[in-house]
Amino acid sequence: MTPPLPWDARHAADIIDRHLHLEGPTLPILHALQEAFGHIPDDAVPLLADALNLSRAEIHGVVTFYHDFRHEPAGRHIIKVCRAEACQSLGSERAATALLERLGIGWGETTADGTVTVQAVYCLGLCACAPAALIDGDPLGRLDGAKLAAAVEGVRWS
Amino acid sequence: MTRIFIPQDVAALAVGADAVARAIAAQAGDGVTIMRTGSRGLFWLEPLVEVETPAGRVAYGPVDPADVPGLLAAGMLSGAAHPLCLGLTEQIPWLARQNRLTFARCGIIDPLSAADYRSHGGFKGLERALSLGPTETVEEVVRSGLRGRGGAGFPTGIKWRTVAAAPADRRYIICNADEGDSGTFADRMMMEGDPLALIEGMVIAGFAVGATKGYVYSRSEYPHANRTFTRALDVARQAGLLGPSVLDSDVSFDIELRVGAGAYVCGEETALLESLEGKRGVVRAKPPLPAIKGLFGRPTVVNNLLSLATIPTILANGAQAYADYGMGRSRGTMPIQIAGNVKFGGLFETAFGITLGELITDIGGGTLTGHPVKAAQCGGPLGAYFPPSLFDTAYDYEAFTARGGLIGHGGIVVFDDSVDLSAQARFAMEFCAIESCGKCTPCRIGSTRGTEVIDRIRAGVEVEANIALVEDLCQTMKFGSLCALGGFTPYPVLSALHHFPEDFRRGACPVAAE
């Protein structure tokens, strides 16, 4: 994964500018900002409000509505574990709970050393090879506790 | 030159298709080209490797990279026998039993080759639509009997007629690819395996109703599908399928891919419209219908991806050919997705009318764990849990409704006897609480209260009184919610309560257990 950049108002303004020709550009801009900075920094909200001629409250409302947008940077590696029914049917919760205990974190949290963030997702469309997860965007199917732990350890120290 | 086909579908990648492709590329030597395709949808056989032979494609699977030397030594490149050999792909019974209309090309063609698409029947639907003219194209879709594949089952052609008739300066086509239901992956497979069919379907829709702009609203949980589809848009522009003069006609149409941000409720069409406009994904009250006032207040076709991807085959082969499949008012075929704890999971496209039991037992082969099937949730997180005693239900919109269920987007999630339906009912409420947009009270507050009451039932606190309370709450949510999220969450909850009452009363002590 490309490491996120430190906050840079001019770079953020460029990103916003590049999307202004779109109809309803808010979500594409937020995705692009998060892609660049790893999260949606508070400083981005007034910039976006100005550019779109909306109130800060409206932008804040959008940012906080969607599960994807982070308010602080994530760990260096992002593990998205599916918690939906198809994965539940083959023991995803057991595997995920074991991983979280091993890392000493809860859902949505980052390990103290900043290496790993574990996020809950509801369906990756890998329901016929469940349970499933995305390890830094790479899909992993038919996992169990051991396979998930090994995959996380594999990226954690790389 | 021997051609080898290996899926690039994310579900194949999830079980190691890339490593298999690398092993074959390294060991098979020159004289072999590897083409990456979508998936055939037989996921227990992934990674599935197919070899082109004079008799047809011969399949091997599931292949592990360690199997590759043995396969090559056995003569895989000429389709020779091997313990992993499945014979001719088209003759694998699981595939041969299907009626692949929507998914006719998926897993077969190079998803990003317009030439391959054309040689497998692509563009024919659009060409026929252009010769029929807009009005007759709409009527053809009406005659096919196609109903919305997102779950609501509204006749697609009628929706198009409404949009075409609404006076407007501009109209929009929106493809709802926000496939959030657990147990469903057909939209994703189509975006990865035959994206040009979706694009062609949207162009036909645009031509039919007089729209020049389309949006595909996909999910951030589908990064691979989004990458493939983005490239497919470029391929389509180069091939003249999109642009200012589609196939050299005076029709103009272009498509933009938009990606959601992890909000399940945005699969609801009005929340989707809000999200596309850049707002919180909050549901709109209807009326006005999106067909009259949709995106930016303009008449808008919002169709499920599967509905749109089925349009080219309907136009190419005629409405009647499509309507000849199916039963009752459910015409055509449904790409059913068999998932969860099931032996043979995957995409099974078939005419409406097959029974649930056939799908789960005969085709799905029962559970992967080998335990008895206890329940199957049909139609995603808002769908009912069916017990085996209802497996004689025919796969049909009306038959499912009559049994207190819904077919939704075609997902079936199988559970073995280790499942606790009270936990699943609790999850349904909890999921609704997490994903509620917050606009209407029954959904926003009811789901949280519902989770709490089910917790009390599971703890054995005043079980019968609390069950009555949940039933009452479900009635309120069902009839008082603005959209299907709050309105359908009662389906899994009530079906669990009614069909599996013992799971709510197991070893419960009558007094507080907390």
Which residue of A65, A82, A138 is in closest CB contact with B281?
A65
Residues 6+ apart with CB under 8 A from B132: B140, B315
- Point out the domain boundary residue: B297, B323, B349: B323
Q: How far apart are CA B107 and CA B121, in angstroms?
A: 15
Is A101 in CB contact (< 8 Å) with chain B? no
pLDDT band at A2 (very low <50, low <70, confident <90, very high): confident
Check whether A31 has a pLDDT greater than 70: yes
- Point out the domain boundary residue: B280, B298, B323: B323
Residues A83 and A56 both lie in one domain: no
Residues B185 and B312 both lie in one domain: yes
How big is the CA angle at B381 (ends B285 and B97), to the nearest 5 degrees?
A: 115
Contact: A125, B281; criterion CB under 8 Å: no
In the predicted model, what is the mean pLDDT of residues A104-131?
A: 97
Q: How far apart are CA B49 and CA B41, in angstroms?
A: 13
Is A140 in CB contact (< 8 Å) with chain B? yes
Residue B169, number of CB atoms within 10 A of its CB: 5
Contact: B261, A130; criterion CB under 8 Å: no
Residues B41 and B86 both lie in one domain: yes
Q: Residue B353 — left, alpha, or beta (φ > 0 → left; ψ -120 to 50 → alpha)?
A: left
Q: How far apart are CA B255 and CA B460, in angstroms?
A: 54
Q: How far apart are CA B190 and CA B174, in angstroms?
A: 16
How near does any CA of chain B get to the CA of A12, in Å?
Answer: 18
Q: What are phi and psi of B395, to 5 degrees?
A: -75, 100
- Point out the domain boundary residue: B364, B396, B416: B416
Give the residue numbers spanning the domain of A141. 77-156
Is A49 in CB contact (< 8 Å) with chain B? no
**Nearest residue on chain B to A30, alpha-carbon basis:** B261
Q: How far apart are CA B188 and CA B194, in angstroms?
A: 10
Residue A2 resides in a domain = no
Which residue of B223, B342, B431 is in closest CB contact with A122?
B431
Cβ atoms of B146 and B75 closer than 8 Å:
no
What the block records as the tokens of B502 is 């013992």
Helix axes B124-132, B134-144, angle to 10 degrees: 120
Q: What is the ipTM of this complex?
A: 0.97
Which residue of B279, B337, B437 is in closest CB contact with A127?
B337
Half-sphere exposure of A1 (CA within 13 A, CB side): 23
Residues B409 and B440 both lie in one domain: no
Q: How far apart are CA A158 and CA A152, in angstroms?
A: 10
Is A121 in CB contact (< 8 Å) with chain B? yes
Full pLDDT tens readout for chain B, 514 residues = 899 999 999 999 999 999 999 999 999 989 999 999 999 999 999 999 999 999 999 999 999 999 999 999 999 999 999 999 999 999 999 999 999 999 999 999 999 999 999 999 999 999 999 999 999 999 999 999 999 999 889 999 999 999 999 999 999 999 999 999 999 999 999 999 999 999 999 999 999 999 999 999 999 999 999 999 999 999 999 999 999 999 999 999 999 999 999 999 999 999 999 999 999 999 999 999 999 999 999 999 999 999 999 999 999 999 999 999 999 999 999 999 999 999 999 999 999 999 999 999 999 999 999 999 999 999 999 999 999 999 999 999 999 999 999 999 999 999 999 999 999 999 999 999 999 999 999 999 999 999 999 999 999 999 999 999 999 999 999 999 999 999 999 999 999 999 999 999 986 554 444 4
Alpha helices, DSSP H only, in B44-105?
68-74, 93-96
Q: How far apart are CA B339 and CA B318, in angstroms?
A: 32
Residues A44 and A106 both lie in one domain: no
Residues B283 and B379 both lie in one domain: no
H or E element: which one contains B340? Answer: strand B333-340
Residues B135 and B257 both lie in one domain: yes
Q: How far apart are CA B154 and CA B148, in angstroms?
A: 5
How near does any CA of chain B get to the CA of A75, in Å?
Answer: 18
Q: How far are the Cα atoms of B393, B427, B482, B490 from residue B478, in angstroms, in the given order?
A: 23, 17, 9, 6
Pairing of strands B330-331, B326-327: antiparallel
Give the residue numbers spanning the domain of B20. 2-96
pLDDT band at A157 (very low <50, low <70, confident <90, very high): confident
Residues B384 and B451 both lie in one domain: no
Residues B123 and B252 both lie in one domain: yes
Q: For residue A138, list its beta bridge partners.
A: A135
Q: Which CATH number does the domain housing residue B465 bear?
A: 1.20.1440.230
How near does any CA of chain A get to the CA of B143, in Å?
Answer: 32
How big is the CA angle at B23 (ends B230 and A139), to the nearest 5 degrees?
A: 45
Strand order in the sheet with B300-304: B254-259, B213-218, B172-176, B300-304
Q: Is the dihedral of CA A32, A37, A43, A47 positive or negative?
A: negative
Q: Which of A16, A27, A52 to mutate to test the interface with B (most CBs of B within 10 A)?
A: A27
What the block records as the tokens of A57 is 């409250």
Place of tokens 């078939």: B350
What the block records as the tokens of B39 is 């998936």
Place of tokens 């979280």: A100
Q: Which of A123, A136, A143, A147 to mutate to test the interface with B (most CBs of B within 10 A)?
A: A123
Residues A108 and A46 both lie in one domain: no
Residue B102 resides in a domain = no
How big is the CA angle at B172 (ends B171 and B174), to the nearest 5 degrees?
A: 160
Residue B344, number of CB atoms within 10 A of its CB: 18
Residue (of B425, B422, B432, B426) closest to B477 by Cα position: B432
Q: Which of A89, A90, A138 to mutate to test the interface with B (most CBs of B within 10 A)?
A: A89
Q: Which CATH number does the domain housing residue B398 bear?
A: 3.10.20.600
What the block records as the tokens of A144 is 């169990």
DSSP letter string over A28-95?
HHHHHHHHHHSS--TTHHHHHHHHHT--HHHHHHHHHHSTT--SS---SEEEEEE-SHHHHTTTHHHH
Q: How many residues does chain A have?
A: 158
How near does any CA of chain A get to the CA of B204, in Å?
Answer: 22
Residues A59 and A81 both lie in one domain: no
Residues A46 and A17 both lie in one domain: yes
Half-sphere exposure of B11 (CA within 13 A, CB side): 36
pLDDT of residue B506: 84
Residue B474 resides in a domain = yes
Residues A57 and A119 both lie in one domain: no
Residues 6+ apart with CB under 8 A from B66: none
Pairing of strands B49-53, B254-259: unpaired
Residues B144 and B211 both lie in one domain: yes
Q: How far apart are CA B170 and CA B244, in angstroms?
A: 15
What the block records as the tokens of A140 is 């992993």
Residue B404 resides in a domain = yes
For the question of whether the overall pTM of this predicted structure is more than 0.80, the answer is yes
pLDDT of residue B512: 44
Place of tokens 């391959």: B116
Q: Which CATH number does the domain housing residue A110 bear?
A: 3.40.30.10
Q: Which of A53, A85, A87, A122 to mutate to test the interface with B (most CBs of B within 10 A)?
A: A85
How near does any CA of chain B get to the CA of A1, in Å?
Answer: 14
Query: How many distinct structural domains can be found in chain B?
Result: 4
Place of tokens 């074991």: A98
Q: Which CATH number does the domain housing residue B53 bear?
A: 3.40.30.10
Cβ atoms of A74 and A127 closer than 8 Å:
no
Residues B171 and B305 both lie in one domain: yes
Q: Residue B469 — left, alpha, or beta (φ > 0 → left; ψ -120 to 50 → alpha)?
A: alpha
Query: How many distinct structural domains can be found in chain A?
Result: 2
Residues B134 and B173 both lie in one domain: yes
Peptide bond just before B387 cis, omega within 30 deg:
no
Burial class (CB in 10 A: 0-12, 13-18, 19+), B343: middle
pLDDT of residue B183: 97
How big is the CA angle at B196 (ends B188 and B301), to the nearest 5 degrees?
A: 75
Give the distance, in angstroms, between the CA of residue A89 and the centroid of all CA atoms in the same chain: 24
Residues A96 and A149 both lie in one domain: yes
**Nearest residue on chain B to A88, alpha-carbon basis:** B340
Residues B308 and B433 both lie in one domain: no
How near does any CA of chain A get to the CA of B355, in Å?
Answer: 20
Residues A43 and A113 both lie in one domain: no
Residue B514 resides in a domain = no
**Nearest residue on chain B to A61, alpha-carbon basis:** B280
Q: How far apart are CA A77 and CA A117, in angstroms?
A: 6
Is A156 in CB contact (< 8 Å) with chain B? no
Residues 6+ apart with CB under 8 A from B32: B1, B2, B3, B4, B24, B25, B77
> Cα-atom radius of gyration of chain B, to the nearest Å?
24
pLDDT of residue B107: 98
How near does any CA of chain A get to the CA of B295, in Å?
Answer: 10
**Nearest residue on chain A to B224, alpha-carbon basis:** A137
Cβ atoms of B478 and B490 closer than 8 Å:
yes
Residue B105 resides in a domain = no
Residue A72 resides in a domain = no
Residue (of A96, A31, A23) closest to B298 by Cα position: A23
Place of tokens 């599908």: B225
Residue B108 resides in a domain = no
Residue B67 resides in a domain = yes
Residues A59 and A125 both lie in one domain: no
Q: Which of helix, strand or coil describes residue A45?
A: helix
Place of tokens 């929009």: B172
Residue A3 resides in a domain = no
What the block records as the tokens of A39 is 């999260």
CB contacts < 8 A (A, B):
159
Residue B107 resides in a domain = no
Residues A81 and A128 both lie in one domain: yes
Q: What share of chain A is helix, strand, coil (3-state, %, to 5)?
A: 45, 10, 40
Q: Which CATH number does the domain housing residue B150 bear?
A: 3.40.50.11540
Residue A36 resides in a domain = yes
Residues A150 and A124 both lie in one domain: yes
Q: Which of B221, B222, B341 to mutate to test the interface with A (most CBs of A within 10 A)?
A: B221
Residues A140 and A119 both lie in one domain: yes
Which residue of B13, B296, B415 is in closest CB contact with A23?
B296
Residues B137 and B274 both lie in one domain: yes
